[in-house]
Amino acid sequence: MRYALFLGCSVPTRGLNYELSSRKVAEKLGIEFVDIPEFSCCGFPIRSVNQDAGFTMAARNLALAEKQGLDVITLCSACAETLQEANYIFKHNPDKLAQINKELAKFGLKYNASIEVKHFARLLWEDIGVETIKKSVVKPLVEATVVAHYGCHYLKPSEIYGKFDDPENPTSLDDLIEATGATTIRNYPEKEKCCGGAILGVKEEDTVKMAGSKLKSIVELGADAMILICPFCSVIYEGNQKKAEKEYDMQFKLPIIYYPQLLGLALGFEPDDVGFKLNRIKAKALLEKLGLRKKPAA
Amino acid sequence: MNTIDDKKLDSSFVEEVRNTPGGEKIVDCFACGTCAASCPVREFDERFNPRKIIHMVLLGMRDEVMNSDFVWLCSGCVTCQERCPQGVTITELMMALKNIAVKHNIVHPAFSMQAAEVYRYGRLYEVGDLNARREKIGLPRIPEEPDDIRTILDDTGVGKIAREVIGTSD
């Protein structure tokens, strides 16, 4: 299994723990990631200003991977959406593809719409499979109880994703969490809710309220951590958790952990190998529970 | 909000929206309100109400829609689009409205800032010094070569918006 790894903007700058753990876990499971240094932003932040510009950026990235004969795996859900939506348009609309290729010719590139794009979590669920992951687990995380945050663009628009998971009641990330031996609370209030990341720069107050409301309901469940698969969701739930605590006048201190970090622990990696030191809200209590950090002497 | 001034309604607005990718299906809306009931932003901010925005477009309230902050408040979660019984691609419609606003020289500063960053670095964030930290923990260097991206942005008019921001901040 060989794929081009698409990092985008947030992962290589703000999600080093996500990148590190994903690379480690992939290698352990026999997935080879190829880095393409010419990759840029996927085009997502530009689409609101000019869709053509955004989709041309997406096409350039896709063409670079196609040139090497590789399908693309993304870690960021917004990248997954933008690249897949662009790909869907190019596969269904040859006129649009021809128009975009005129621009790509300036860079000596041409896109033939022959490759596929997938989110890393989807790859783990669909192609590696829960059973294989279970067999690779050397340290079942039975003491952990967590919740899954799916985010929006991992699942939606479901039409372009071929409805691989139910967008209203998804199970894939919960299945992946259970494969590590951890308990996942499959149904909780606001499970499907958006982090609000896309409007952080437009009206921060709205994002903080949206995020805080979800964090509050998770903390009230008594979960050890929120498990997620998108770097921008993490920027919101981890990076803005203090603001959300202020807004809701309560302490959350909820660790926000990327799924590959959790999986990494179950596959036998030490917490530091999969970037736990880089998590801003420390998962100390959880790691102690799992016997992966020493408890302070009583 | 004041009552509608009939004289200010612009029937060309809905046609412009229908002719913009994402806006094609707006006239199929039968105002059931599923979008507004599903919207996670509206839950916390009454100003953002997809049903209301759609109806304002259908009435031809160009100025009110274009000059208001609320078109920029869609979080793009796609929940409304998934649930719309009429198959109106509402998330894409909101994207179309933003694109139309930009065409008429209205860009929310949050988005022109993002365009400027992508123009500068080819990415939303500078990697710069972070490369040393990346290498220290065994991650590959990320080169910053934004030339192709600048060409794409310049050829689509986004470059001008980005350069205006860069010009004022330097």
Residues A187 and A110 in one domain: no
CB contact under 8 Å between B122 and A210, yes or no, is no
- pLDDT class of B1 with cuts at 50, 70, 90: low
Residues B11 and B88 in one domain: yes
CA distance A146 to A92: 40
- The distance of B32 to chain A (nearest Cα, Å) reads 19
- Which chain B residues touch A53 with a CB distance below 8 Å? 152-153, 156-158
End-to-end CA separation in angstroms for chain B:
39
Residues B83 and B113 in one domain: no
| pLDDT per residue as tens digits for the range A242-291 | 999 999 999 999 999 999 999 999 999 999 999 999 999 999 999 999 99
- pLDDT class of B5 with cuts at 50, 70, 90: confident
CB contact under 8 Å between B139 and A206, yes or no, is no
C-beta of residue B108 within 8 angstroms of C-beta of residue A25: no
Residues B137 and B156 in one domain: yes
Q: Which residues contact A211 (CB under 8 A, 6 or more apart)?
A: A195, A196, A236, A237, A240, A241, A244
Last residue of a domain, one of A120, A150, A167: A120
| Cβ neighbour number for residue B5 with a 10 Å cutoff | 10
Domain region containing A96 = 2-120
Domain region containing B14 = 6-103
CB contact under 8 Å between B81 and A56, yes or no, is no
pLDDT of residue B169: 63
Mean pLDDT taken over chain A: 97
- Which chain A residues touch B146 with a CB distance below 8 Å? 40
pLDDT of residue A92: 97
Whether residue B125 lies within 8 A of chain A, CB to CB, comes out as: yes
Residues A142 and A284 in one domain: yes
The SS3 of residue A148 is strand
Last residue of a domain, one of A102, A120, A138: A120
| pLDDT per residue as tens digits for the range B117-135 | 999 999 999 999 999 999 9
CB contact under 8 Å between B73 and A57, yes or no, is no
pLDDT at residue B112 is higher than 90 = yes
Last residue of a domain, one of B86, B103, B120: B103
Range with lowest mean pLDDT among A102-111, A254-263, B65-74, B156-165: B65-74
- The distance of B156 to chain A (nearest Cα, Å) reads 6
Is the bond preceding residue B143 a cis peptide, omega within 30 degrees? no
Residues A96 and A140 in one domain: no
Last residue of a domain, one of B103, B121, B152: B103
A residues 170-189 near B, CB within 8 Å?
none
Last residue of a domain, one of A79, A97, A120: A120
- Which CATH number does the domain housing residue A69 bear? 1.20.1050.140
ipTM of the complex: 0.95
| pLDDT per residue as tens digits for the range A195-240 | 999 999 999 999 999 999 999 999 999 999 999 999 999 999 999 9
Q: Which residue, among A7, A202, A272, would best test binding to B if mutated, counting the most B CBs under 10 Å from its CB?
A: A202
Residues A89 and A136 in one domain: no
Q: Using CB atoms within 10 Å of the CB of residue A140, give its burial: 0 to 12 exposed, 13 to 18 middle, 19+ buried.
A: middle
Decide if A50 is inside a domain: yes
CA distance A83 to A40: 12
